[in-house]
């Protein structure tokens, strides 16, 4: 299990290569890459503020829960902060397991929970001004469906 | 006690971080600390005007109004998190 | 939408880079990489036989269904055939969408259906001999849950 | 009519592919073609002994026993597919 919270971009191919290097026990690797999306040209840039220390702590806790719920061989999360423009990568979640369902479900779980539990706040700049983005009800719902 | 403010709570209070050396009189939990901070008036009153919009953490774990606090704690106030993915 | 059925390995980083190059409309990319797994040293190698022509046709049909069901920006499937050893990559599924749920769910759908609809047959070599692998009931069930 | 055999059906019949220029008498669908092929005996009888284990395609689409066939078709027989991922 490995978590990085960083300003710098990450290389998806390199991260994947390191993740599976020398492993023959892995049957499936699920990856999710979140990117900044230009909504009909509205978002010119966004800045992700985070709470250093708490961010790593919360992501560690979420990753530990994923490992408790699914039989995972490995798990990696990278989350960026700072100013980002459309097309920039924001987050990488990567899970490896013997079976594809475990890899896919845990990856989905991690990204849903990151969205509601990791202390990041999004400040969006657009043509009409800048604002702090409000939390969405739908994200809470997406995370809630993993409750049991 | 260290108090941190994030996102628009930082903008409204005008502070990213402050040190409050001792627990104010009568303050033993998060809710009471919010009352005390709001009592400063100005940007602080504004930041804590709608408490439904404010989340808190004590020592980097999510907290509730009745979560107890002590003099050495790190307390943070921020809006609901908004992650980074669509 | 792009489908490749090939003997050669693929480069996950390069495929991802090409997939998102110049795009700012994408909010999330989901990837799944299937690899040959050594089950406690049992599988020494496997050979994937396929039905050239029908394979491409069936994967095209599955990808078209994914695009009809989810709002996808792009979709890519690579499936290998031939002899493979533990650690080798077998399949890549990649989906891009404005929203993470669409990318994640369609990727999951594609890999579940590939397993039951794409005409591949697995011949496994192990210490105790070689055999054609029989289809699993659980794969049918995994695919069935996408029926509506 | 081209007939293809995959996986253990290829092993048992000893053939990857064969051309049957005309539809055999009385054969108008997949099920009847299987009867006719099994009637050859030997490896063919063996390959089609348990029909629950045999799948078919006509012109590269999955077919059923009652799927009609014509002289120019490409017919394939194979076991249930077993994909490549765990």
User: With 70 as the cut, is the pLDDT of residue C41 above it?
Assistant: no
| pLDDT exceeds 70 at position A40 | no
Q: Which residues of C touch B85 (CB under 8 A)?
A: 27-28, 100
- pLDDT reported for residue A143: 79
Q: Minimal Cα–Cα distance from A22 to chain B, Å?
A: 31
Low-confidence winner among A12-26, C29-43, D5-19, D61-75 (lowest mean pLDDT): C29-43
Find the mean pLDDT for residues C90-101: 96
pLDDT at D83: 72
- List for chain C the helix, strand, coil content (%; round to 5): 35, 35, 30
Listed by start position, the domains of chain C span 2-144
| Residue-level pLDDT at A139 | 75
Q: Is the ipTM of this complex over 0.85?
A: yes
Inter-residue contact B86 to C71 (CB < 8 Å): no
Distance of alpha carbon C16 from alpha carbon A92, whole angstroms: 13
Please tell me which of the candidates A27, A31, A38 has its beta carbon nearest to residue C31. A31
Residues C111-117, mean pLDDT to the nearest whole number: 91
Whole-angstrom distance, CA of residue A19 vs CA of residue A15:
6
Between strands D55-58 and C120-126, the pairing is unpaired
pLDDT(C126) > 90: no
pLDDT bucket at C143, cuts 50 / 70 / 90: confident
Instruction: Return the closest-CA partner of residue C86 out of A26, D39, D70.
Output: A26
Identify the structural domains of chain D with CATH numbers, from first to last: 2-78 (3.10.20.30)
* Alpha-carbon span B78 to A54, nearest angstrom: 12
**What CA–CA distances, in Å, run from B74 to A26, B47, C81?**
41, 19, 57
Q: What is the mean pLDDT of residues C135-148?
A: 75
Position A148 scores a pLDDT of: 63
Residue C148's pLDDT band (cuts 50, 70, 90): low
Contact assignment for C51 to D61 by CB distance below 8 Å: no
Could you report the per-residue pLDDT of A78-107, keeping only the tens digit for each?
999 999 999 999 999 999 999 999 999 999
* CB proximity list for A99: less than 8 A, separation 6 or greater: A27, A28, A71, D86
For residue B85, the distance in angstroms to the closest alpha carbon of chain A comes to 5
Per-residue burial over A126-141, b if 16 or more Cβ lie within 10 Å, else e, is eeeeeebeebeeebee
Separation of alpha carbons A1 and A3, rounded Å? 7
Chain A residue numbers touching C35 (CB-CB < 8 A) = 20, 26-29
Above pLDDT 90, what percent of chain C? Answer: 74
Do C98 and B86 make contact, defined as CB atoms within 8 angstroms?
A: yes
pLDDT of amino acid C61: 95
User: Is the domain covering C2-144 a CATH 3.90.1170.40 domain?
Assistant: yes
Is A9 at the interface with chain C, CB within 8 A? no
> Three-state DSSP class for C55?
helix
d(Cα D15, Cα B57) in Å, to the nearest integer?
70
Mean pLDDT of chain A: 92
Chain D nearest-CA residue for C53 = D60
Q: Check whether B86 has a pLDDT greater than 60.
A: no
pLDDT score recorded for residue B85: 64
Judged against a pLDDT cut of 80, whether residue C146 lies above it is answered with no
Nearest-5° angle of CA A22, CA A27, CA A33?
Answer: 85
Name beta bridge partners: C53: none
pLDDT at B21 over 60: yes
């Amino acid at each position: 299990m490995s978590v990085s919270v960083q300003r710098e971009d990450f290389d998806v191919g390199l991260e994947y290569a390191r993740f599976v290097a020398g492993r023959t026990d892995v049957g499936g690797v699920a990856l999710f890459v979140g990117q900044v999306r230009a909504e009909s040209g509205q978002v010119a840039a966004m800045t992700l503020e985070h709470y250093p220390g708490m961010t790593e702590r919360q992501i560690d806790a979420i990753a530990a829960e994923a490992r408790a719920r699914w039989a995972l061989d490995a798990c990696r999360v990278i989350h960026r902060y700072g100013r980002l423009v459309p097309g920039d990568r924001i987050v990488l979640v990567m899970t490896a397991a013997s079976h594809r369902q475990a890899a896919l479900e845990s990856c989905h779980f991690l990204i849903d929970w990151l969205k509601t539990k990791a202390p990041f706040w999004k400040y969006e700049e657009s043509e009409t001004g800048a604002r702090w983005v409000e939390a969405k009800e739908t994200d809470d719902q997406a995370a809630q469906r993993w409750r049991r | 006690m260290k108090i941190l403010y994030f996102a628009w709570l930082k903008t409204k209070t005008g502070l990213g971080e402050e040190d409050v050396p001792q627990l104010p009189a009568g303050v033993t939990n998060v809710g009471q600390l919010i009352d005390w901070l709001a009592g400063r008036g100005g940007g602080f009153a504004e930041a804590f005007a709608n408490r439904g919009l404010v989340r808190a953490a004590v020592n980097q774990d999510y907290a509730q109004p009745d979560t107890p606090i002590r003099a050495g704690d790190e307390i943070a106030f921020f809006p609901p998190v908004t992650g980074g993915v669509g």
